[in-house]
Amino acid sequence: MESANSGEDTESRVAFQGEPGAFSSEAGRKLLGERAVLVPCRSFDEMFEAAAGGDVDYCLAPIENSLFGSVYQNYDLLLHHGLRITAEVQLRIVHNLITPPGVALEEVRRVYSHPVALGQCRKFFAAHPELESAPAYDTAGSVKQVMESRERGAAAIASLGAAAEYGAQLLLEGIEDDPQNYTRFWLLAKPERAGEPDGQADKTSVVFALENRAGSLFRAMAVFALRDIDLLKIESRPLVGRPWEYSFYLDFLGHTAEPRVRAALGHLEEFAVDLRVLGCYRRAAEKG
Amino acid sequence: MESANSGEDTESRVAFQGEPGAFSSEAGRKLLGERAVLVPCRSFDEMFEAAAGGDVDYCLAPIENSLFGSVYQNYDLLLHHGLRITAEVQLRIVHNLITPPGVALEEVRRVYSHPVALGQCRKFFAAHPELESAPAYDTAGSVKQVMESRERGAAAIASLGAAAEYGAQLLLEGIEDDPQNYTRFWLLAKPERAGEPDGQADKTSVVFALENRAGSLFRAMAVFALRDIDLLKIESRPLVGRPWEYSFYLDFLGHTAEPRVRAALGHLEEFAVDLRVLGCYRRAAEKG
């Protein structure tokens, strides 16, 4: 099997959402190095379809931000397209104020970016009441737009990589409210492309539904707790067509080949509905 | 104490997000009857601030949709403003195609609505490829805009109430993909306004954090399971400033005055951090 996280992957084509320079493309470079071909997509839907349809080898999906929470849409798309998690990478999110070259802070009037990025720079806007925040399609796309439109007084909030990508000027660095701002991404592939997890994998993600009866979630947690398996995260998503019933996504520490993990998943299968292993992969470093 | 869900509340001022005719205002009417004063707000932030600041008695926050999932922003705002849940109401969401009077379906070219509403009518758009979907600020606001702008070929997707509010024409009824489309709302007030739960309350919502150690979530579930208390829902949200640690929101069946509920919450307090009861209120009917 070709390793997804070796950094020496010469041929992989990886779809990501956003324009070149987006945080997703930075994460792709961090995980796969310079030689992977990163393919920009306009939407998460388009990116998942590219991976599921075989137009690309992988797609790289943001799955959780440490301030904003889970990217629920990508949980739903992962399940819908039946992709497998092959690797995880984590990126420190630094927001910067970016303008065309030669523009001074005093000249800036309107700041474009993705609504989530704007929302993560509230203190900056509070300190600069003369600036208007303007929601846009994405972060790097805002830099591109500001460079192309040459709108007077326009700036963008985006990554350093986006500034470099479009030859823009870095006016202010690190304007986010909270420096504890990280996004985790999953590298996803069709099961036949993903292959088997290697020996370095130490984290597993599963999804299942439970019959709507008292104590069922407690029993599902017990399956892991009784075997000293550490749960890292639980997420619930609605079951479409069955109001107020849920799918549960669990991440835990362990390899699917470990006897206790196999026993736990066998135990869970006794009463859970539609249990699926989403992937077994190497956990991203705690921070950064 | 003045009962929030008696339908006979003559004086309450209730903030909601959206324009008159929005689903939130329909939910307000369903819960509080005709005599409550519904106060439209532009954003969830504004609505919470109105209730926390005393400009209104309550705000009515959508908290979960059966297809879309939880409205995470409102979980965060509830915690931030320290409001109390006083009542719950559930609304069947029916999407309709609405135009100015006299417009025929063949003349419609562009359909405005909130992105979530547009996303819940995908089959309709697939069956009508000649129609362009156009994201807008909200559902009822789209009807207002279409009526005021008189843009040729423009329509909106919104509730029956929105059509009535603006004297618009109901062109097609029930164009949503999935009829199992419900939204639950919470009526929120400052603790001193909320008062004590009455005898009809049968559901309690709490929030707490857990130390990041193995088995802690299992122990929290055990507190309820060992006392035969039914969990209805679990939701996790990131703890700001502590990447990959979470607050947990639990809804369960029971009144805070019941001995087993008091025992369970006392037990949870032994090891949970920042345990707070968000409210004890009457559960909305299963469906409709």
The pLDDT tens digits of the residues spanning A173-188 come to 999 999 999 999 999 9
pLDDT of residue B3: 44
Residue of B51, B80, B89, B60 whose CA lies nearest to B192: B51
Residue A237 has pLDDT above 50, yes or no: yes
**What pLDDT, in 10s, does the model give residues A46-84?**
999 999 999 999 999 999 999 889 999 899 999 999 999
d(CA B273, CA B276): 9
Is A230 in Cβ contact with B214 (below 8 Å)?
yes
* Segment holding A192, helix H or strand E: helix A191-194
Q: How far is A274 from chain B (nearest CA, A)?
A: 19
Is A222 in Cβ contact with B214 (below 8 Å)?
no
Is B221 in Cβ contact with A218 (below 8 Å)?
yes
Contacts A215 to B, Cβ<8 Å: 225, 228, 230
Is B243 in Cβ contact with A66 (below 8 Å)?
yes
**Which residues, other chains included, contact A165 with Cβ-Cβ below 8 Å and sequence gap of 6+?**
A19, A20, A21, A140, A143
Q: Give domain A13-92+181-193's CATH number out of 3.30.70.640, 3.40.190.10, 1.20.120.720, 3.40.605.10.
A: 3.40.190.10
Average pLDDT score over residue span A18-27: 93
pLDDT of residue B211: 87
pLDDT of residue B105: 96
Q: Which residues of B touch A (CB under 8 A)?
A: 64-69, 72, 178, 180, 182, 214-215, 217-218, 221-222, 224-225, 228, 230-238, 240-244, 246, 286-287
d(CA B275, CA B288): 32
Q: What is the pTM of this model?
A: 0.89
pLDDT of residue A3: 44
**Six token digits for residue A254:** 């362990």
CATH superfamily of B203-281: ACT domain (3.30.70.260)
Is A233 in Cβ contact with B236 (below 8 Å)?
yes
If you measure CA to CA, which chain A residue comes closest to B252?
Answer: A214
pLDDT of residue A112: 96
Residue of B254, B286, B236 whose CA lies nearest to B69: B236
- Top residue of A75, A213, A221, A235 to mutate, by most chain B CBs within 10 Å, is A221
pLDDT of residue A10: 58
Residue A148 has pLDDT above 80, yes or no: yes
Residue A55: DSSP 8-state: S
Q: How far is A3 from chain B (nearest CA, A)?
A: 26
Residue B247 is which amino acid?
S
- Top residue of B221, B242, B247, B287 to mutate, by most chain A CBs within 10 Å, is B221
Is B217 in Cβ contact with A241 (below 8 Å)?
no
Average pLDDT score over residue span A31-42: 92
pLDDT of residue B1: 39
Residue A92 is which amino acid?
R
Q: Is A10 a catalytic residue?
A: no
d(CA B235, CA B255): 20
Q: In 10 A of CB A54, how many CB atoms?
A: 10
Domains B13-92+181-193 and B96-172 share a fold: yes
Is A221 in Cβ contact with B244 (below 8 Å)?
no
Contacts B224 to A, Cβ<8 Å: 218
ipTM of the complex: 0.86
**Which residues, other chains included, contact A112 with Cβ-Cβ below 8 Å and sequence gap of 6+?**
A134, A135, A136, A142, A145, A146, A154, A155, A156, A157
pLDDT of residue A113: 94
Average pLDDT score over residue span A80-99: 97
Q: Is A256 a catalytic residue?
A: no
Residues A83 and A48 sit within 8 Å (Cβ to Cβ)? yes
Residue of A51, A65, A67, A64 whose CA lies nearest to A249: A64
Residue A105: DSSP 8-state: G
Residue A189 has pLDDT above 70, yes or no: yes
Q: How far is B1 from chain A (nearest CA, A)?
A: 31
State which residues of chain B have pLDDT below 50. 1-9, 288
CATH superfamily of B96-172: Periplasmic binding protein-like II (3.40.190.10)
**Region of A262 on the Ramachandran plot (φ > 0 left; ψ -120 to 50 alpha; else beta):** alpha
Average pLDDT score over residue span A124-143: 92
Instruction: Spell out the domain ranges in chain B.
Output: 13-92+181-193, 96-172, 203-281
